[in-house]
Amino acid sequence: MKLAIILWGIPWAMRVCSWVYPKFAEALKERDAVAQFRTRGQPMGRWIQVKNGKVSSGAGFHAQPDFSIYFKDRKTAADFLTPPFDHLERIHAAKNFYITMEGPDDLIVWFMHLVASMETYTWTKGTDMGDGVTRYTNGTNGGPIFVYVKDGKILRTTPMNLDESDPDSYTIKARGKEFKPPRKTTLAAHGACQKSMVYSKNRILKPMKRVDFDHKGERNIQNRGKSEFVEIEWDEAIDIVASEMKRCKAVGPGAIAVANGSHHQWGNLGHYLSAFNRFWNLIGVTKLMHSPDSWEGWFWGAQHHWGNSMRLGATEPYGTIEDCLKNAEMMVFWSSDPDASYGFEGTQRRRWAKELGIKMVHIDPYLNHTAAHLGGKWISPKVGTDTAFAQALTYIWITEETYDKEFVEKRTTGFEEWKAHVLGEDDGIPKTPEWAEQETGIPARDCRALAREWASKNTYLGAGGWGIGLGGACRGPTGAQWARMMTILGAMQGMGSEGSNFGNLQFGAPVDMNFYFPGYAEGSMSGDLAYSANSTNNYQRMPHIVTMNSVKQVIPRMWLPEAIMGKPKLGYVTAVDSVVGQFFPIGYPSPGHVPVEMIYKYGSSSLGTQVDSNRWINMYQHENLKFVVNQSVWWEGETPFSDVILPACTVFERWDIGEWLNVGPGYVHHMYSMNNHRVISLQHKAIEPEGEAKSDYDIFLAISERMDLGAVFSEGGNSELEWCKRAYESSDAVKTMSWRKFLKKGYFVVPQEPEESRPPLGLNWFYEGRKKDVPEPYPLPSDFVENYGEGLQTPSGKYEFVPTTLKRFDDPERPPVNKYIKTFENAENEPEVAAKYKLRLLTPHSRYPFHLMGDDEGCFLRDIREHRIKVGEHHYLTCRLSREDAAARDIKDDDLIRLWNDRGSVVCAAQVTDRLRPGVISAPTASAEYRPAGEPGKSTDLGGCVNVLNPSKPITTKAHGIRPNGTLIEVEKWTGVDTWKPAAPVEAA
Amino acid sequence: MAKKWNMIVDIERCNNCRGCFLAVKDEHTGNDFPGYAAEQPAMGANWLDIERKERGVYPIVDAHFMPTMCNHCDDAPCMKVGGDAVKKRADGIVIIDPVKAKGRKDIVESCPYGSISWNEELQLPQAWIFDAHLFDTGWKETREEQQCPTNVFRSVKVSDSEMQKMAVEEGLEVLQPELGTKPRVYYKNMHFFTRCFVGGSVTGLVNGVDECIEGAEVILKKDGSEVGRAITDTFGEFKIDKLQPGSGAYELDVSSSVGKVASSFELAADSVYLGVLELV
């Protein structure tokens, strides 16, 4: 089409759109502008004026345009402006300066967005249910949902029922039975309480400023967490934030740090790996080096034996669900409670296993949710002693010669050295069941019975929450030893042979694993090739402009307070591309960079999630930290430790898109195979934001515009909905369902994989000595020893009982031979602490909130008595303790109790139980609230932040990972009078 | 015969995920359904609640969960005191009229199950309405059923005689039948809440080593006659369930090729773990 005609057509389209769509007419009135389109080469042009909502236009050049858009030539302009738009070509034009712009950034973004948005007015969103009700769809961390809306308010949210128009579900045939999952999605508690979260009284509805903070005068840093806040207008809030950012940028590279949680609301676009990363890459900031939270022992320990660095040390899940149901005779759940935090798709499959009569054994100091539901043998070792129990199992296998000798011979190295250790040839201590009994408290006969049953039966080892790794005992001080032992048990029983593998029926359902839809860790619109999985698929499938952070300084997340307070500690890199990458230390401050003086905190509350969390309070009140922004949806414990608060909206109040549990390639590749159906949902903007909350995207855009980065950030005025469309069109789903249909229906179920083309059984290739044939592109081609696809990601290509990589590194707590090292704070290694405190604390993830999402006051979850118990006016965090320990302290159900040690003190409500071994306390890290009885950081917390008790020591000396399980504490009835003080003086400024 | 609604709840299938509990809150918080129920207070009014029961001591412990809610009784005490403020629909569902019941705290107190809660703000007695408002607009199942990942709930619309037949065939029970209220909510596997078990760990010397004894025969007797039987598992453990709490003295004989042992115990209110029973 000729350029003149196209340019003439744009204002006409705008006029027509404003006649037909009143909302567009309103948008036209927002601002006035004269846009000049022109070519650089052969001068021609047209101007378009928007004034008081009216559109006028003329050929040629306007005398006083507000902004100009230059095209290299007529052809470039015609291609750029003719729909349907080819994003690859458009980006190509922008990157190579075929197109340039001149004028106020915010006005250009506004105008470009206005023009681009015309198409969206023709779209129908959601399903009309009659009676004024529209059914929208959304996604949560707990599963996808239907959202019923009436009169602009959410009426209800439900799991999705699949109907006849959706593809059939898979069938698994096992031992004469056929199993088919229910035709609906399941939902974790934190997904089922979303309506109460949207309308929670804890929502932040207006931007706020601390009353005694003046960025041009007195900052009163010491009052963070104590002073009140006043509401301010968005303009003022953005002005302060942008001016402080400019001030910090002038100080030097790295002066601004961003701190985000590990998770976000569900959705590819709004995730921190997307809009947040894109924005901060454009600004240049010190980022946090997240540790491999929840994979600690697998990452720092297990991977040295078998590689799997891309999975953070966990193993491959393929085909294990079908194989377990068909061939396993026993399942050993070791520190494995999938029913706690991963939704209930796996619960359905574990019930099939129960129906088939597969024996179940549960090893956990707590008779966990999965164990209570399934039944079976409960083995409850003393906290941190699991390694001794596992070593004794191998002692039986060695002495009774019941390990898989052929596998050990052909596929492993180092067995003789390992065997010598187990038999006590190196240290004089044979690792007998009787020896283990002294450590674990488990009768030697139980150990022998389990070892013999395991060796004689096809056994699935469900290690950690997903069975293939993650969570549980891997998170304690002995977590690396434990995870290493799990791999040793697998190797000695021929992992990968039919019926003998890793898994607990949580991961590896026979869904289609080729069908592409982007996962959230692909970074969506981030353009961040360095710190997301963007480069693997998303960058090619959804062409968008690359962004890079020019600041090279990073801070190990565990040590953020120490870094800010001027006493930095060394961290280690969470490297996933190789096994040895984790040996690289990271320091702070980095060469040529400056110390951080501003933190931009993004969602979640570190006081609930980070160990030794009183450190955070000390950091926030430290004079080195000149400015703190907190961008949050809800008012949480950490929120008041800031200067300016920016209210973000929920995912129900903005657009997003995502697939249920699809993380993307990387640390949980094919995570959606935890589900029985792959469900992709459009996350409809179902309601307008509460109060003046804005989407994260719009907040970042507003700040960008203050720095003339708006057009770059939004890639020329793209709205969130347009980004959703681009994401959808990058996927394989669009080949089956058009964007318009998807927009209306809201979800797409991926057709099931035919039985004959399901992926092969995980590790079976290794067991049989074939080339790797499961559909994961790991390890990197360079990390195979000889031929591509042959062997494991170890220096030998074999399973290594005594890892070569640990031999090359010196960490006293990770000896190459996996010795049993007693847990910390015991009579031998820390006698003073052990004399003072007698109870060991477990702080698992909560079953009900997602970390602490859903714990805010006003959320339904607070009425769940296994999560919080209402005493007086307040809901206290539920803490489980054994009948014996309770009786010794005269504690009854629902009593308020205080948990304390030298690091912290916190009040909970008691749940007395027989499901815990005496001496063990279990209280989840689920508190969004922090409510100090006195001075913040120096008094007892009534909110339930049990992480104030956990130490900030790393999992092993030379690692960057937390160890939140097994901390020594004492417990007493709460007197109501706070006498607790930190044992050592808190470091002053 | 008219078909009426009944709800069957299988305790064995419940793992306390709280989906049903949250579904009821989601459905009624902030939503007024005229003629059915006024809106529920945001916090504290748990029209459907979940009870927890643990039995036994380490190492033989079990834990079960039981959703409880309005039983929609056919001979409902709330109807007796409520007059025209409480109605029984032709389909069996009991509705506390959200207008007529205003101020009637006595209706709350009338329920022997404690299933009616008091809405202080609205001065209303309120209970779970069996999702009548949804059935009336074409829903095929309740929100609780739709939400439940493990099929704990099964709502059935059948005649009373068909329901009685199902109850017998499937071993269903109602809460506190002795009250004579004729609940329409039935429970499967109620024994996890109302009965006790006896368990133990059987050991013996094999080649001079203390071992768990698998396959030992355990016979439970009362007054000399057998009332239960079990075979020990891999870990030498056994569990004989469904004993009446407070049923008094029992004897137990365990035997295998390794040897024999006898034990006796008194069953009071709680389940009993006999500890290690060593065969000699």
Residue B59: asked if its preceding bond is cis (omega within 30°), the reply is yes
Q: Report chain A's C-alpha Rg in angstroms.
A: 29
Taking the CA atoms of A933, A934, A940 and A941 in sequence, report the sign of the dihedral they define. positive
Residue A59 burial by CB count (10 A; 0-12/13-18/19+): exposed, middle or buried?
Answer: exposed
In this predicted structure, the answer to whether residue A80 has a pLDDT above a threshold of 90 is no
Would the CB atoms of B30 and A448 count as touching at under 8 Å?
no
For B:28-47, CB contacts with A below 8 A are 29-31, 42-44, 46
Q: Identify the residue among B46, B65, B196, B234 best suited for mutation to test binding to A, counting A beta carbons within 10 A and taking the highest.
A: B234
Across A303-330, b (16+ Cβ under 10 Å) vs e yields: bbbbbbbbbbbbbbbbbbbbbbbbbbbb
Q: How is chain B split among helix, strand and coil, in percent rounded to 5?
A: 20, 40, 40
> Rounded to 5 degrees, what angle do the CA atoms A447, A483, A665 make?
140
Contact by Cβ (8 Å): A94, A123 = no
- Among A328, A333, A338, A299, which Cα is nearest to A315's? A299
Q: Identify the residue among A163, A358, A506, A863 best suited for mutation to test binding to B, counting B beta carbons within 10 A and taking the highest.
A: A863
Res A860: pLDDT: 97
Token couple for A530:
């360095």
Q: Please tell us whether the domain made up of A320-507+779-807 is placed in CATH 3.40.228.10.
A: yes
* Percent share of chain A, pLDDT over 70: 99
Can you tell me which residue has the tokens 């590819």?
A: A268
Q: Report chain B's C-alpha Rg in angstroms.
A: 23
CB nearest B44 (choices: A182, A347, A863): A863
Q: What angle, 0 to 180 degrees and rounded to 10, lies between the N-to-C axes of helices A234-251 and A696-706?
A: 60
pLDDT classification of A43: cutoffs 50, 70, 90: confident
B63: chain A residues, CB-CB within 8 Å: 367, 372, 915
CB nearest A446 (choices: B29, B151, B212): B212
In this predicted structure, the answer to whether residue A666 has a pLDDT above a threshold of 90 is no
Active site residues of A: 263, 293, 520
In this predicted structure, the answer to whether residue A989 has a pLDDT above a threshold of 70 is no
Res A984: pLDDT: 66
Report the Cα–Cα distance between both ends of chain B, in Å, rounded: 63
Give the SS3 label for residue A403: coil
- Among A957, A116, A106, A313, which Cα is nearest to A571's? A957
pLDDT digits (tens, 9 = 90+) for A543-563: 999 999 999 999 999 999 999
Can you tell me which residue has the tokens 């020019």?
A: A550
A184: chain B residues, CB-CB within 8 Å: 146
Give the SS3 label for residue B12: helix
pLDDT digits (tens, 9 = 90+) for A266-307: 999 999 999 999 999 999 999 999 899 999 999 999 999 999
Q: What angle, 0 to 180 degrees and rounded to 10, lies between the N-to-C axes of helices A386-399 and A479-492?
A: 20
| Rounded Cα gap, residues B95 and B7, in angstroms | 16
Give the SS3 label for residue A974: coil
- Among A191, A292, A160, which Cα is nearest to A850's? A191
pLDDT digits (tens, 9 = 90+) for A218-228: 999 999 999 99
What type of residue is A364? D
Res A215: pLDDT: 97
Q: Which residues contact A115 (CB under 8 A, 6 or more apart)?
A: A10, A14, A717
- Among B89, B76, B243, B82, which Cα is nearest to B174's? B76
Res B129: pLDDT: 98
Res A475: pLDDT: 93
CATH superfamily placement of domain B195-279: Immunoglobulins (2.60.40.10)
Least Cα separation, residue A818 to chain B (angstroms)? 28
pLDDT digits (tens, 9 = 90+) for A486-511: 999 999 999 999 999 999 999 999 99
Q: Which residues contact A99 (CB under 8 A, 6 or more apart)?
A: A69, A70, A71, A72, A76, A80, A93
Token couple for A789:
């696809």
Would the CB atoms of B212 and A378 count as touching at under 8 Å?
no
What type of residue is A962? I
Would the CB atoms of B29 and A858 count as touching at under 8 Å?
no
Query: Has the ipTM of the complex gone over 0.90?
Result: yes
* CATH architecture type of domain A208-293+518-670+685-732: 3-Layer(aba) Sandwich (3.40)
CB pairs A-B closer than 8 Å:
141
Q: Does A290 touch chain B (CB under 8 A)?
A: no
| Rounded Cα gap, residues A145 and A151, in angstroms | 19
Across B79-113, b (16+ Cβ under 10 Å) vs e yields: bebbeebbebbebbbbbbbbeebeebeebbebbeb
Least Cα separation, residue A185 to chain B (angstroms)? 8
Phi, psi of A59 (to 5 degrees): -75, 150
Neighbours of A52 (CB within 10 A): 7
Residue A381: asked if its preceding bond is cis (omega within 30°), the reply is no
Least confident of A404-408, A766-770, A957-961: A957-961
Stated as kind and residue range, the H or E segment containing A744 is helix A739-745
Res A603: pLDDT: 85
Q: Which CATH number fits domain B4-192: 3.40.50.300, 3.30.70.20, 3.90.1150.10, 3.30.310.80?
A: 3.30.70.20
Res A988: pLDDT: 42
pLDDT classification of A986: cutoffs 50, 70, 90: very low
DSSP A18-58: HHH-HHHHHHHTS--EEEEEEESSS--EEEEEEETTEEEEE
Mean pLDDT of A446-453: 98
In this predicted structure, the answer to whether residue A69 has a pLDDT above a threshold of 70 is yes
Phi, psi of A139 (to 5 degrees): -135, 145
> Rounded to 5 degrees, what angle do the CA atoms B32, B33, B38 make?
50
Least Cα separation, residue B238 to chain A (angstroms)? 11
Per the prediction, chain A carries an average pLDDT of 95
| Rounded Cα gap, residues A498 and A30, in angstroms | 66
> Rounded to 5 degrees, what angle do the CA atoms B150, B135, A189 make?
35
- Among A934, A914, A936, A909, which Cα is nearest to A924's? A909
| Rounded Cα gap, residues B228 and B240, in angstroms | 7
Strands (E), A87-128: 99-102, 127-128
Token couple for B77:
């005490």
- Among A789, A765, A764, A769, which Cα is nearest to A779's? A789
| Rounded Cα gap, residues A60 and B274, in angstroms | 97
Mean pLDDT of A694-708: 97
Give pTM, 2 decimals: 0.97
Neighbours of A531 (CB within 10 A): 19
pLDDT digits (tens, 9 = 90+) for A912-954: 999 999 999 999 998 999 999 999 999 999 999 999 999 999 9
CB nearest A189 (choices: B18, B43, B212): B18
Token couple for B267:
């069953």
In this predicted structure, the answer to whether residue A694 has a pLDDT above a threshold of 50 is yes
pLDDT digits (tens, 9 = 90+) for A332-370: 999 999 999 777 999 999 999 999 999 999 999 999 999
Maximum CA extent, chain A: 94
Would the CB atoms of B57 and A378 count as touching at under 8 Å?
no
In whole angstroms, how far apart are CA A740 and each of A121, A166, A368, A724, A735?
12, 17, 45, 12, 13
Tens of pLDDT along chain B (280 residues) come to: 799 999 999 999 999 999 999 999 999 999 999 999 999 998 999 999 999 999 999 899 999 999 999 999 999 999 999 999 999 999 999 999 999 999 999 999 999 999 999 999 999 999 999 999 999 999 999 999 999 999 999 999 999 999 999 999 999 999 999 999 999 999 999 999 999 999 999 999 999 999 999 999 999 999 999 999 999 999 999 999 999 999 999 999 999 999 999 999 999 999 999 999 999 9
CB nearest B61 (choices: A378, A450, A861): A378
CB nearest B212 (choices: A131, A445, A883): A445
Least Cα separation, residue B80 to chain A (angstroms)? 31
For B:83-122, CB contacts with A below 8 A are none
B16: chain A residues, CB-CB within 8 Å: 369, 866
Contact by Cβ (8 Å): B74, B92 = yes
Q: How far is CA B16 from its chain centroid? A: 12
Domain ranges of chain A: 3-122, 208-293+518-670+685-732, 320-507+779-807
| Rounded Cα gap, residues A520 and A723, in angstroms | 14
- Among B30, B230, B75, which Cα is nearest to A148's? B30
In this predicted structure, the answer to whether residue A645 has a pLDDT above a threshold of 60 is yes
Q: Which CATH class is domain A3-122?
A: alpha beta
| Rounded Cα gap, residues A930 and A914, in angstroms | 29
Contact by Cβ (8 Å): A628, A647 = no
For B:149-188, CB contacts with A below 8 A are 149-151
Res A985: pLDDT: 52
Token couple for A673:
């195979």
Would the CB atoms of A915 and B54 count as touching at under 8 Å?
yes
For B:45-64, CB contacts with A below 8 A are 46, 52, 54, 56-64
Domain ranges of chain B: 4-192, 195-279
Least confident of A547-551, A638-642, A982-986: A982-986
Token couple for B242:
């469904």
